[in-house]
Amino acid sequence: MGTIYRAKNIRKVICLAAISLLYTTLIVAQNKNKHYKIYDTRQQEEITLSELASRLNESDVVFFGEEHDDSITHTLQYALFKNLHENNNNITLSLEMFQSDIQLILDEYLAGIIKETNLSKDGRLWANYSDYRPLIEYAKELGIPVIAANAPSRYTNLVSREGLTALEKLSKTAKNYLAPIPIDTLTGAYYDNFALLLGGHENMGSMKIYQSQNLWDATMAYRIAQWSKKHKSNIILHLNGRFHSDEKLGVMAQLKKYRPKLKSINISAFKHEDIKSPRWQDFEHLGDYIILTEKPIGGVK
């Protein structure tokens, strides 16, 4: 029995090493071929990935805003996560890509209690889960906790249809998956940006769809806040679509309400048509760090 157990562990180590080697090779290749650039907006300079990881050590929470279909960004996320962990082993990963009501399922998978097939079936994985799988497998092998940060879609859908007041009829158990009621509906720049995303204020209809966005952001922020209170992680790396954290709005603004003393830093990563000579001043308002990745030949994919 001991021999079988050791053999399984050896296979796991080999698998993790293979994933790390693959992603390290991709990063080296991308860096050599200049498929991405990283810019420190505070220091007004281009930096390397290892320099980015070093500078992030000063923060409590790092928001990595992504475009979900950007394969180069996903490769960089894994490399950054690995680099941060090597610099500081007291790290937590937090993901928009997992909804809060499957935290138990995710924890069971990370602990080796259930198989990946169960996680796939019961965890409501995103269609592009393969882009995030390397981070989950790295966390699993090294015992790094992962926060299922997002609000369950059935409740954001409820708010989109009936508004935030509909949450009041939920059970106590259901409410535990969400940020506390009442949810702050952020006004100002975030509201204007959201309206622009939908094609203008005239296309928003009622405020309900915007309220569902606020529930989404507040729940991610609240779960990060609660984790930081209970576990005192040195650093939390949170991945979300960049709209949620660009300009330090959305989830970052909500977190300020729950844990105002936490030091949060944001990264905004997105595809750009000219990474050889970008106008950094056009993007520096988006975050503390900007990552521009090369658009695929033939347009955006």
Q: What is the CATH number of the domain that holds 226?
A: 3.40.50.11550
Say if 117 falls within a structural domain.
yes
230-233 long-range contacts, CB within 8 A, separation 24+: 231/92, 231/145, 233/90, 233/91, 233/92, 233/145
49 within domain boundaries: yes
Answer whether residue 238 is part of any domain: yes
48 in any annotated domain: yes
Question: Mean pLDDT, the chain, as a whole number?
Answer: 89
Residue 165: inside a domain = yes
Range(s) of the domain holding residue 109: 2-294
Please report whether residue 160 resides in a domain. Answer: yes
- pLDDT, position 88: 84
Q: Within the chain, which residues score under 70 in pLDDT?
A: 1-34, 200-206, 233, 297-301
In a domain, 214, yes or no: yes
Angle at which helix 133-142 crosses helix 71-87, to 10 degrees, equals: 20
Q: How many domains does the chain have?
A: 1
- Flag whether 300 is in a domain: no
Identify the pLDDT of residue 202.
Answer: 54
